[in-house]
Amino acid sequence: MIRVLVVDDNPIVREALRANLDASGTVLVVGEAGDGRAALDAARRLRPHVTLLDYRMPVADGLAIVTELARLTAVLALTSEDADVVVRDMLRGGARGYLVHGEFDPAELVRAVTVVASGRSWLSPAAATVAAESLRRAQEAAEAGAKADQRHRETQQRYGLTPRERQVLDLVAEGLANVVIAERLRLTEKTVKNHLHAVFAKLGARNRTEAVLRWTGR
């Protein structure tokens, strides 16, 4: 039997979920809680395999406890909230699955609990769409970052700066003054100035700002 904790601030919802799950013959509801704090206490005491977790609750909502709760039990978010940010944050917080009221029937609820208990994920259509979009955006951001890094490396290689000149210019890019750069690199301030003169010449820059912009490829 899969042991389940039902967490929802609405007692009618809790009763309906208990009835549907207990009727399955494979799932047993071992406890209920009406707020986040009570949910954590119940999870520690009852050690359920799966916890059905609502998002909006008094005392502490689902998002406030999902990470801690996920250390104790597999979390299956079950809520009427389908906003992108809520779905994304609950999944990032550790929820293994996400169901939206109105998008499942009793049989699918039991399947979702069973799948989540086995260590896999289960997402309702709305949650799956959000997860896929989040993954797409993360991939696009990673690809953009990789391209920017590549452009930066190509820019740096083109100017042929010495290792010390690169160090000095990197610190200039951080907004540090010559005297601070000198202290950081254990050089004299005059030596830093000499390196910068060489850097300006190689980059064809008239000042620190132009040098940084060309160095970073912006």
Residue 171: which H helix or E strand, with range? helix 163-173
pLDDT > 90? residue 47? yes
Q: How many CA atoms lie within 13 A of 214 on its CB side?
A: 20
> How high is the pLDDT of residue 134?
67
Task: Tell me the per-residue pLDDT of 50-84, one tens digit each, with 9 for 90 and over.
Answer: 999 999 898 889 999 999 999 999 999 998 887 88
Encoded tokens for 19:
């009835």
Q: Which residues contact 65 (CB under 8 A, 6 or more apart)?
A: 36, 37, 39, 40, 53
> How high is the pLDDT of residue 146?
73
pLDDT > 90? residue 16? yes
> How high is the pLDDT of residue 133?
73
- Round the average pLDDT of the chain to a whole number and report it: 88
Confidence class for position 185, pLDDT limits 50, 70, 90: very high
Encoded tokens for 102:
């109105």
Q: What is the pTM of this model?
A: 0.62
Q: Which residues contact 10 (CB under 8 A, 6 or more apart)?
A: 54
User: Could you give phi then psi for residue 19, rounded to 5 degrees?
Assistant: -60, -45
